[in-house]
Amino acid sequence: MEKERLSRFDEIVNMGKEGQEALNQYWLDYALYSFFEYWLMVSFLGFPLIFLILKINKEKLFQILFFGYSVHICFGYEDLFGRNMGFWNYPIPVIPSLPGISLDSSLIPVIFIFVYQSTLNSNKKYYLYGTITAVILAFAFKPMLVGLGLFRMYGSISYYHLFFSYVSVFIFAKLMTDLFIWIKKWYRTSD
């Protein structure tokens, strides 16, 4: 029984490896040479990080970057889940084994970082601005990516699913950041 179970598991892993090899070949055949689309995805990876370095509030650097890291982790896991379940994928990735890296690691976290940063020292409401951002990303940005052939959705997945995904990301990131700020304050007062 144990040997059969492990043998079946090894078959599944091999199928995944073969699938990744096919995606790598697709990338070499089509994605790497699609001039506009490929370089647009590269720009989604590079330009937001450059902009972040130039415009981040240096006085609250650690807090803001922790928030951005929380967005990156949560969005990365949600994106990985969606790709593994066959809900969506990226036909023109910058790196074939990391198809969502441009959005997961750069563009989306940086967008939410600036929403968070803009609400830190003002009376702006984070959840309102986060929701507006989620609406724009789900109902304007993602349809644009679909139209350009940079994002594909499968099955019954809709832009509403993507909207709720973005909402869960910005709520999770805010709660995690607030939790760690509270822990930091608690440790300071307990000394």
CA distance linking residue 146 with residue 141, whole number of Å? 9
SS3 content of the chain, % helix, strand, coil (to 5): 80, 5, 15
Model pTM above 0.85 = yes
- Which residues are bridge partners to 89 per DSSP? 152
Tokens of 111: 């967008």
Q: Which residue shows structure tokens 């993507």? A: 162
pLDDT of residue 31: 76
Closest by CA position to 174, among listed 121, 109, 111, 127: 127
Q: Which residue shows structure tokens 């089509």? A: 30
pLDDT of residue 82: 95
Q: Which residue shows structure tokens 């043998």? A: 7
pLDDT in tens, 100-129: 999 999 999 999 999 999 999 777 899 999
Statement: residue 32 has pLDDT above 70: yes
pLDDT in tens, 142-174: 999 999 999 999 999 999 999 999 999 999 999
pLDDT in tens, 73-95: 999 999 999 999 999 999 999 99
Contacts 24+ apart (CB under 8 A), 86-90: 86/154, 86/155, 87/153, 87/154, 87/155, 87/157, 87/161, 88/151, 88/152, 88/153, 88/154, 88/157, 89/151, 89/152, 89/154, 90/41, 90/150, 90/151, 90/152
Cβ(40)–Cβ(150) below 8 Å: yes
- Which residues are bridge partners to 153 per DSSP? 88
Cβ(92)–Cβ(32) below 8 Å: no
pLDDT of residue 191: 62
Measured from the Cβ of residue 75, the count of other Cβ atoms closer than 10 Å reads 25
Q: Which residue shows structure tokens 């929701």? A: 131
Mean pLDDT of all residues in the chain? 93
